Each structure stands twice: as structure tokens, then as C-alpha cells.
Chains A and B, each alone.
Chain A
Amino acid sequence: MQPDEILDYLIPGIMLGALYAVIAIGYTLVYGVLQLINFAHSEVFMVGAYSALLALTWIDPSSNPTTFMSVLLVAAGLAVSGTAGAATAFTLEKVAYRPLRRRNAPRLAFLISAIGASYFLQNLAGKLFGRDSRALPTVFENKKVFSVFGTQVTILQLLIVCAAVLMMVGLDYLVNRTKLGLGIRAVAQDAETAGLMGVDIDKVISRTFIIGGFMGGIAGFLFGLHLQLSFTMGFLPGITAFAAAVVGGVGNIRGAMMGGMLLGIVESFSSPIFGESWRYVSAFAVLVLVLMFRPTGILGERLGRSA
């Protein structure tokens, strides 16, 4: 890799990192309130992408949409994928996790239920929409907007980073400044005491899932604009994002954002250094290294009860 190529890998890395950060937040929020690795979150991501596919195919854009039409399509895609993601996460919590919570089930049971939900949703999508990968319809022409030291930045990269940053800022505000955020933090710290203080735990948990699902769904749509859709598309981004959440400090929202960025950039640079086929190993390598030397992640755990 030449020194002048650094930006060529850094910019896609930032784009990828922004996506991972948004997905990682979904994991970290749920881990904060339930101490559960929500394996099915990667399927929320996939549902977001497929719902956008359905909506955009239904609207049926021309292969060369006008600027106005492009904006409309992107807005529709964002709205539909966010809603579908939120609905999936909400249902998931209600069907798969709440009955277990009622019964005080061991954490093993939650994890198994999560894996079951993940495989169920994945293969249901595979069955309904075919097991081949497909692409979203053309929403906009991916033109370059400007260039930084000779490296071009495309609309897609700009869109992804902007959307991700907006969501992250919004979430940060929501968690730190609103009443719901206070509830989420309280439940994460000590659910039982929060309940005694009048926090409706069920409602808080359910809304946490909705927030995480909303962001995950949108990330799915944005990912679909970048790469192809398939029913297993959630797996690799999902576990990379979980690794990002752990790297940043699980339960720590700013940590998840940072971890996501870090892993995105590392992954992007590992493909020219180690070869394309090894890029997915890099996230796990970073994960294992971080767990060995700093088990609570870079920024430390914050929301977690047992931290």
C-alpha cells in the first residue's frame, strides 16, 4: 500500500465504521438493559434492508430517477426500513424474550432464544424472497461530490456518514437528556431498584428494543445501497458490530460508536495489507486482543449492572 493510497481506504473505512457504529448501538443498548447478546439484531438489520427492497420495488422507480424522485426514494427507504426494524425488534422482545424474563430464566435460555429467533427470521426471509442475493433498485446515481487530496467522496458515502452521525447525535441526546433516556439508564444500572422507583421496566425495555431496531433497520437499508442483499447479509456486519460494542465497552453507547468506527477502519485497511479474503478475520482478531488486555473495552463498561 502506497502512502498516497491511505485516503482511498480511510474513507470507505469511515463509511463502513459509521454503519457498524449504528448497528453496534443496537447491541449495546439491549445489552445495557437486559445483559443479553441480542443475536437476532443482525436479522433486524436484514429485515430493514428487505423491507426497503419491497417498498422501493413496489414504488418501482425508473432506472434513471430525477433528483426530486431520488430524494423521495431515499426518504421512503429510510422511513420504511426504520419502521420495519423497530417493529421486528419490538415483536422479538415481546415473543422471544418477555416470557423468559417473566420466568426469571437463566441467561443461557435468553441466548438460545435469541439464536433461535435469528435463524428463524433469516431462513424465513430466505424462503420468502429467494436465497439468491439481489440488489436494491437504483435510487440515485452514485456521483462523486468532492474530492479530498485526490480521493473522491461519493454521494452514497456522504449519505451513510451523515445519516449515521445524525442518528448517533439524536440517540446521545435521547439517552442523556430525556425522561425515556433516564429510564433506560436507570434500568441498565439496576432494574429492580428502578422498578421500585416507579420506572415501568417492561415499557423501557420494549422502547429500548424499538430504538435499537429503528437504527438497525436504517443501517440495513444503507448497507443495501452499498452492497447486495441476501438473507444471510446480517451475519457478518452483525457480529462485527457486536465485536465493536465489546471493543468500545459493552453497554457504553459512546464506546459502541468509537468501536464501530475503529473496526470499520481496521477492516478497510486489512484488505490491502493482508488480502481481500482475510478482511473479516480482522474484527475478531481485534476483539480477542482487546478482550485479552482490556476486558471491559476501550472506554470501559458503563450501563452494565455487573460492571
Chain B
Amino acid sequence: MSTTTKERDLAPTGSALARLRTKRWYQQPMFGRLVGTVAAAVLLDVMSGPQGSREDVFFSLDKTLGSLRVVWWIIGAVALWAILEFAKPLYNRYLAASVGPLERFHAPVTGPVKGLIAQTRTTSANLRRILWVRIGFSAVVIGLLILLPNVLSTFWNQVLVNEVAIYVLLAIGLNVVIGWAGLLDLGFIAFFAIGAYSTAYWTGAMPVEPPFTLNAFLVIPVAVGTCLLAGLLLGAPTLRLRGDYLAIVTLGFHEIIYLIAKNADGFTNGPRGVQGISNFGVHIGVLDYDWELDPVPYWYLLIGIATILIIAFLRLEHSRVGRAWTAIREDEVAASATGVPTVKFKLMAFAIGASTSGIAGVVYASKARFISPESFLLLFSVLVVAYVIFGGMGSLWGVIIGTAFLAWLPQYMKDWVNPNDRFMYLGALLIVMMIYRPQGLIPSVRRKRELSMAKAGLGDADAMSEPAGGRMT
């Protein structure tokens, strides 16, 4: 008898269950969305307000939260919320109903579609044709890019070289590290600085005399070597550890390089920077040409370097190395178990990225002829990371287009938006991208699939976990 009463006590009664099931009105998801929308509006109000002043801490807050504009923002947010909430049932009833969701996805594969599938099946002849189409298309794009400076003003030509082209070069390099190997490198600009200071040193512009001076072109292999070495020295101890240590160690490395550039006065000339770095020049027999103040020749040079790097990296992506990176990214333990030397390939990606950054540094130093520690702030490292993510990490074309767009945008917007706020918007962009579109603007098919696989609990989609085995091979 006693057991039955106990069971009755334990079994939830109908009313208790009902109480558990009912949500209070403010717990409904639609009110959660209302709070979110209003909070976003208040944040936007604060973000778009005037710059703070030195005298009064409250100045900017007074002008935004303390004035009538915040009320307008909130009204706007509530209106937007109401429209979305009440339009949704209408949409569902009248528009979405006309084509049932099931019908849309379960449409049978009929004749013409089957034919299409058969057509796209690649034979070797098809492959060759696709290759030629690609080469032709690339040639047209490069041709258009070569002609581009002719239609732009001098200011935009400078932007094209100093901002767009240099950052695209950096992003191509970082894409190898982040996009293909799945490692986070936050000290990418440190290698850029190493490249730039190498140029200054080997062309004899630093306070310390080199054993012999080199032409800026010849500095490129030297800088690549230096950056490779630095990358190996930095990566070898850290890549054996858990992947996210790399992020913090590269961050620290960047700070060390920056502090050396700033404080080693006798060697780097300290905060005053180095002046009079020599330009690129070719002096072989009849060929006698110097790159000077005009940005356009640098544009051609950068197109050349970028093209070579893109071809090399595309080859690399589909080689054994690229497949190893993919394997590590998708499941490091499995890769290691099937005999992929994970640490070696991660180190390789890191070093390749570093040397690309070094090349960009050489071009930058030789173009600007003046470098100072302020050209190598940590901010720029984060900026390149943001560019790569925005474009779609792992997809080379996405990265190039995304970087070009984001490097151009602040110059275009500089009359309306304070350039200092750029990093605020970039930070917000990174968060929003990670939430809504982690695969980036123009995603690589493979990355997209990995992300959706990770969502289902399969694989990692990055190389941030602890390496299985954990030893250099």
C-alpha cells in the first residue's frame, strides 16, 4: 500500500505538468526577439554617436543615450520587430503555402536533369577544356586589372597599391595558415615587419651596415628565408602543443618584434623609423629600369608576384600537401592515425604563410621607402585575419575579393565615417560573420561542408585541438 502512495507522490500530476509547460508571456521567444532588437538599436545609437571628448567623459553618452535620438532608435526597432513578427504569419499563410516546402525538395529527378548530370561528368577531354576556359578567363581578368590604373585618379592608384594589393598579398598568405591548415596566426604582421626590416638592412638603410648591399629584388629570397626560419623557430615548439596556444604565442611574438623595432635604437633606429630604403630596380645589360614614386609600376609588379603566388598555392592546394592539410583540418586524430605527419604539415603551412608575409613586407618597404614601428601594429594582424574570414577562409578567390573590398571600403567611406572607428565595425563584423555566415562571403565548397559536418558532430573543421601523438615527425 505504501509503495502506491509513494508512486502517486512521485508521478507528476496533470496540473504540475501544465505548470511546467506554460511559459509566461515574457518568456515567449517573440519577446526575447523584441529585447534583442531594442538592445541592438540602442547599441547602434551609441555606435553612431559623436566621438568622445577629452574634457567630458559623459559627452558622447549624453549626446546619444541622453538625448531624444535614442527614443527614435527604439521606436524604429519596435516597429521593425512588429512588422517582422506580424508579417511572418501572413507570409506563411499566403506565400509560402503556394509551394509546399516538401514538394520543393522532393521534386523527382527527371529526364533533363539526369542528362545534365551526365553532361557534367568530367572526361579527360572535358577537363582539358575546363582548364583552357579557366586560363582564358584568368588572362582576361589579369588584363583588366593591368588596365585598371588608367581609369583611376592618382589617389586611388596609391590606394590600389598601398592598401588593396599589399593586403591581398598578405591575405593570400594568411589563407594558407587559417583557411587551409586551420591554424590561427595572430602575429602575421610580425613577419611582414621582418620582411620590411630585412629590406632596410640589406639595402643599407639601417644604422647597421650589412656585409654587402643587395638589390631590392634580391632581398626577396633573403627575406623569404629569414621569415621561414623565424616561422620554424616559433612554430616548432608551439605547434606540438594544443592549437590555440599558437594564437597566443604568435600574439606575443608580434609584440616582441614590435618592441624590438621600437626599442633597439642602435639597430632599427627606434621609433623614428628607417628612411631612404632603395626602390626596386633592374640593371642587367640593356634592361635599365627603376621603380620610383609613381604607384602604377608597383601595381604591375604586385600583380606579377600575386599571380605567381596564386598559381603556386593553387597547385599546392591540390597536391599531397594540400590534401594533408584538409585531412588535418577535418579530423586531426584520424589524419595522424592514417600516417599524416600532422605537426610537420602544420609547420609547413605556418612557414609558407610567414614567408608570403615577408614578401609583402619587402614590397611595402621598398615602395614606401620609409618604415617605422607604427607600420606594424598588432591591429593590422587582426585586420588581415578579419579580411580572410570575411572573404571566406580556404577559398582563394573569396579571400582575394573580400580583402580587396574591405581594403577599399574604408578609403571610400572616409568622408562619412571616422577612420578610427574602422576597428569597431570590423570587430562587430567578425562576430556577426561567425554567427550567421562562418563560411565567409564566397565560401569554399569544402569548408562549407566541413562546417555543416561539425554542426552534426563530425570532425573539427580546424586544427586547434591537441595533436594526436604530439611529437615532431
**Which residues from chain B contact A129 at a C-beta distance below 8 Å?**
52, 57, 60
Q: Is A287 an interface residue (CB 8 A)?
A: yes
Q: Please tell me if the beta carbons of B420 and A127 are within 8 angstroms of each other in the complex.
A: yes
Q: Please tell me if the beta carbons of B53 and A116 are within 8 angstroms of each other in the complex.
A: no
A144 to chain B, nearest CB (A): 30
Most buried by A among B58, B242, B259, B389: B242
Q: Is A108 an interface residue (CB 8 A)?
A: yes
Q: Is B10 an interface residue (CB 8 A)?
A: no
Q: Please tell me if the beta carbons of B49 and A123 are within 8 angstroms of each other in the complex.
A: no
A301 to chain B, nearest CB (A): 10
Q: Please tell me if the beta carbons of A107 and B438 are within 8 angstroms of each other in the complex.
A: no
Q: Is A204 an interface residue (CB 8 A)?
A: no
User: What range describes how many residues of B lie at the interface?
Assistant: 35 or more
Q: Is B163 an interface residue (CB 8 A)?
A: no
Q: Please tell me if the beta carbons of A112 and B389 are within 8 angstroms of each other in the complex.
A: yes
Asked whether A117 and B431 contact (CB < 8 A) given A106-B462, A109-B438, A124-B46, the answer is yes
Q: Please tell me if the beta carbons of A128 and B242 are within 8 angstroms of each other in the complex.
A: no
Q: Please tell me if the beta carbons of A126 and B237 are within 8 angstroms of each other in the complex.
A: no
Q: Please tell me if the beta carbons of B434 and A100 are within 8 angstroms of each other in the complex.
A: yes
Q: Please tell me if the beta carbons of A109 and B426 are within 8 angstroms of each other in the complex.
A: no
Q: Which candidate, A69-77, A258-266, A274-282, is the interface stretch facing chain B?
A: A274-282
A110 to B58, CA, bound (A): 33
B58 to chain A, nearest CB (A): 7
Q: Is A291 an interface residue (CB 8 A)?
A: yes
Most buried by B among A37, A107, A275, A281: A107
Q: Please tell me if the beta carbons of A123 and B54 are within 8 angstroms of each other in the complex.
A: no
For window 376-424 of B, CB contacts with A under 8 Å fall at: 378, 382, 385-386, 389, 418, 420-421, 423-424
Q: Please tell me if the beta carbons of B184 and A108 are within 8 angstroms of each other in the complex.
A: yes
**Which residues from chain B contact A103 at a C-beta distance below 8 Å?**
455
Number of A-B contacts (CB under 8 A): 177
**Which residues from chain A contact B466 at a C-beta distance below 8 Å?**
306
For window 90-121 of A, CB contacts with B under 8 Å fall at: 95-96, 99-100, 103-113, 115-121
**Which residues from chain A contact B49 at a C-beta distance below 8 Å?**
127-128
A127 to chain B, nearest CB (A): 6
Q: Is A57 an interface residue (CB 8 A)?
A: yes
Q: Please tell me if the beta carbons of A54 and B58 are within 8 angstroms of each other in the complex.
A: yes
**Which residues from chain B contact A35 at a C-beta distance below 8 Å?**
244
Q: Please tell me if the beta carbons of B259 and A108 are within 8 angstroms of each other in the complex.
A: no
Q: Please tell me if the beta carbons of A112 and B385 are within 8 angstroms of each other in the complex.
A: yes
Q: Please tell me if the beta carbons of A120 and B259 are within 8 angstroms of each other in the complex.
A: no
Most buried by B among A57, A119, A235: A119
Q: Please tell me if the beta carbons of B461 and A106 are within 8 angstroms of each other in the complex.
A: yes
Q: Is the interface of B mostly helix, strand, loop or mixed?
A: helix
A35 to B460, CA, bound (A): 14
Q: Is A20 an interface residue (CB 8 A)?
A: no
For window 244-287 of B, CB contacts with A under 8 Å fall at: 244-245, 247-249, 251-253, 255-256, 259, 262-263
- Complex partner residue of A116 from B243, B252, B421, B427, CB under 8 angstroms: B427
**Which residues from chain B contact A58 at a C-beta distance below 8 Å?**
58
Q: Please tell me if the beta carbons of A105 and B451 are within 8 angstroms of each other in the complex.
A: yes
A100 to B424, CA, bound (A): 21
**Which residues from chain B contact A242 at a C-beta distance below 8 Å?**
248
Q: Please tell me if the beta carbons of B186 and A127 are within 8 angstroms of each other in the complex.
A: no
Q: Please tell me if the beta carbons of A278 and B435 are within 8 angstroms of each other in the complex.
A: no
Q: Please tell me if the beta carbons of B435 and A100 are within 8 angstroms of each other in the complex.
A: yes
Q: Please tell me if the beta carbons of A277 and B430 are within 8 angstroms of each other in the complex.
A: no
Q: Please tell me if the beta carbons of B460 and A106 are within 8 angstroms of each other in the complex.
A: yes
A213 to chain B, nearest CB (A): 17
Q: Is A197 an interface residue (CB 8 A)?
A: no
For window 416-468 of B, CB contacts with A under 8 Å fall at: 418, 420-421, 423-424, 426-431, 433-435, 438, 451, 454-457, 460-462, 464-466
Q: Which candidate, A130-138, A145-153, A180-188, is the interface stretch facing chain B?
A: A130-138
The 8 closest A-B pairs by CB, nearest first: A116-B430, A120-B427, A119-B427, A284-B252, A123-B424, A108-B462, A106-B461, A130-B52
Q: Which residues from chain B sit less than 8 Å from chain A, CB to CB?
A: 46-47, 49, 51-54, 57-58, 60-61, 178, 182, 184, 186, 237-238, 240-245, 247-249, 251-253, 255-256, 259, 262-263, 378, 382, 385-386, 389, 418, 420-421, 423-424, 426-431, 433-435, 438, 451, 454-457, 460-462, 464-466
* 24 cross-chain CB contacts under 8 A: A37-B247, A54-B57, A57-B57, A95-B431, A103-B455, A104-B457, A105-B451, A106-B461, A108-B464, A109-B438, A111-B184, A116-B433, A119-B430, A120-B430, A129-B60, A130-B52, A130-B53, A277-B259, A281-B255, A281-B259, A283-B252, A284-B256, A287-B252, A288-B249
